[in-house]
């Protein structure tokens, strides 16, 4: 009985292992991934430069003397003049303006956040009829223009013109995107929590103001920050509603300072930094809540 001769087949010739194509595919895709990563980093660097350059230019100008700025406006400061900030603070009377703005911003933003919570919860949970229509109404209100004449007449007829409380109430009523953010975030919280709280005897107001804020701190902080930015940067309504200089916010104080020291660019830059610094500090401390609000609403919602 004869047997067929066995011929040795060289390794790698004729047959291929199941994983023989992976290194080639990876080697082909590696340059593409490296290129995409490089492009992503380049775009990020460009965005950082676009946002940071004006701020760095402002800091550089604020630290220059006026003569140095006139001789070399775009050059790097040679002898920093930190006294510009002290001089701008004293000459611009920013101490009283800053206190006014802190009061207006904190109270109006807190009231607006509470109103946004009270509006968003019944709509998001379906406690009112046609919740989708209400959500559409909230979204459409973002595109409506400011009714300055109506606001002025309302404050005048209610004897709230040139009063801090009138300005705070009007600014607090501009809740903006707050109800939309809170309603969207609330959809990520199971309804079973509402039922469990009701079974434990928790009333609606208690649930609304003591229980929910602990679960929704990121989005509530986001709504507070966004409204605080609007109140702090407001100058139009302040110009319309205030005639007494003692009630001016810091933005009107900066506008008045600009009119007085138009040619003093170093002092004007220092004053601008003084006005912007508190809001930047608040954002740095609360930015983690902003990120948590966006990520939480996107993942859970």
Q: Is the pLDDT of residue 259 over 50?
A: yes
Distances (CA, A) of 240 to 100, 156, 162, 278: 16, 11, 9, 24
pLDDT, tens digit, 9 for 90 and up, residues 218-233: 889 888 988 998 999 9
Class of the CATH domain delimited by 93-300 = mainly alpha
Confidence of residue 27 (pLDDT cuts 50, 70, 90): low
Average pLDDT over residues 238-264: 87
pLDDT at 12: 47
CB-based burial label for 32 (10 Å; 0-12, 13-18, 19+) = exposed
Task: Report whether 257 contacts 92 (CB < 8 A).
Answer: yes
Average pLDDT over residues 87-116: 92
pLDDT at 248: 94
pTM here is 0.78
pLDDT at 296: 54
Q: Is the pLDDT of residue 100 over 90?
A: yes
Q: Is the pLDDT of residue 16 over 70?
A: no
Separation between Cα atoms, residue 44 and residue 38, nearest integer Å: 10
pLDDT, tens digit, 9 for 90 and up, residues 43-94: 988 888 888 888 889 999 999 988 888 888 888 888 888 999 999 998 888 9
Confidence of residue 261 (pLDDT cuts 50, 70, 90): low
Separation between Cα atoms, residue 92 and residue 21, nearest integer Å: 72
Separation between Cα atoms, residue 178 and residue 147, nearest integer Å: 20
From 205, 204, 151, select the one nearest 173 (Cα to Cα). Answer: 151
Task: Report whether 207 contacts 194 (CB < 8 A).
Answer: yes
Sign of CA dihedral 108, 114, 117, 120: negative
Separation between Cα atoms, residue 63 and residue 267, nearest integer Å: 9
pLDDT at 9: 46
Task: Report whether 284 contacts 213 (CB < 8 A).
Answer: no
Q: Is the pLDDT of residue 7 over 60?
A: no
pLDDT at 231: 93
pLDDT at 2: 45
Q: Is the pLDDT of residue 299 over 80?
A: no
Q: Is the pLDDT of residue 189 over 50?
A: yes
Confidence of residue 109 (pLDDT cuts 50, 70, 90): very high
Average pLDDT over residues 256-282: 84
From 106, 141, 101, select the one nearest 224 (Cα to Cα). Answer: 106
Q: Is the pLDDT of residue 8 over 70?
A: no
pLDDT at 239: 92
Q: Is the pLDDT of residue 3 over 80?
A: no
Task: Report whether 134 contacts 123 (CB < 8 A).
Answer: yes
pLDDT, tens digit, 9 for 90 and up, residues 140-170: 878 877 778 888 898 999 999 999 999 999 9
Task: Report whether 102 contacts 217 (CB < 8 A).
Answer: no
Separation between Cα atoms, residue 231 and residue 237, nearest integer Å: 10
Give the DSSP per-residue string, 61-107. HHTS-HHHHHH-TTSPPSS--THHHHHHHHHTTHHHHHHHHHHHHHH
Q: How does the average pLDDT of the chain come out, rounded?
A: 82
- Structural Rg of the chain based on CA atoms: 30
Q: Distance between terminal CA atoms of the chain?
A: 76
- φ, ψ dihedrals at 38, nearest 5°: -65, -40
Confidence of residue 107 (pLDDT cuts 50, 70, 90): very high
């Amino acid at each position: 009985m004869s047997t067929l001769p066995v011929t040795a087949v060289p390794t790698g010739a004729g047959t291929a292992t199941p994983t023989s194509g992976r290194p080639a595919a990876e080697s082909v895709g590696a340059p593409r991934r490296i290129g995409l990563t490089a492009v992503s980093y380049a775009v990020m660097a460009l965005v950082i430069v676009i946002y940071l350059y004006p701020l760095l230019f402002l800091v550089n100008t604020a630290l220059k003397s006026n003569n140095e700025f006139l001789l070399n406006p775009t050059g790097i400061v040679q002898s920093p003049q930190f006294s510009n900030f002290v001089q701008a603070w004293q000459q611009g009377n920013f101490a009283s303006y800053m206190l006014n703005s802190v009061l207006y911003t904190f109270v109006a933003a807190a009231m607006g956040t509470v109103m946004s919570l009270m509006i968003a919860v019944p709509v998001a949970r379906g406690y009112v009829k046609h919740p989708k229509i209400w959500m559409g109404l909230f979204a459409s209100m973002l595109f409506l223009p400011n009714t300055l004449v109506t606001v002025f007449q309302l404050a005048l007829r209610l004897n709230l013109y040139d009063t801090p409380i009138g300005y705070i109430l009007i600014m607090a009523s501009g809740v903006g995107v707050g109800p939309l953010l809170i309603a969207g975030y609330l959809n990520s919280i199971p309804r079973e929590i509402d039922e469990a709280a009701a079974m434990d005897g928790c009333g609606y107001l208690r649930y609304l103001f003591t229980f929910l804020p602990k679960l929704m701190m990121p989005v509530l902080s986001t709504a507070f920050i966004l409204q605080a930015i609007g109140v702090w940067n407001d100058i139009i309504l302040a110009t319309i509603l205030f005639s007494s200089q003692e009630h001016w916010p810091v933005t009107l104080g900066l506008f008045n300072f600009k009119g007085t020291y138009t040619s003093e660019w170093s002092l004007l830059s220092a004053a601008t930094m003084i006005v912007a610094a508190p809001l930047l500090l608040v954002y740095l401390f609360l930015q983690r809540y902003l990120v948590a609000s966006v990520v939480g609403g996107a993942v859970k919602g």
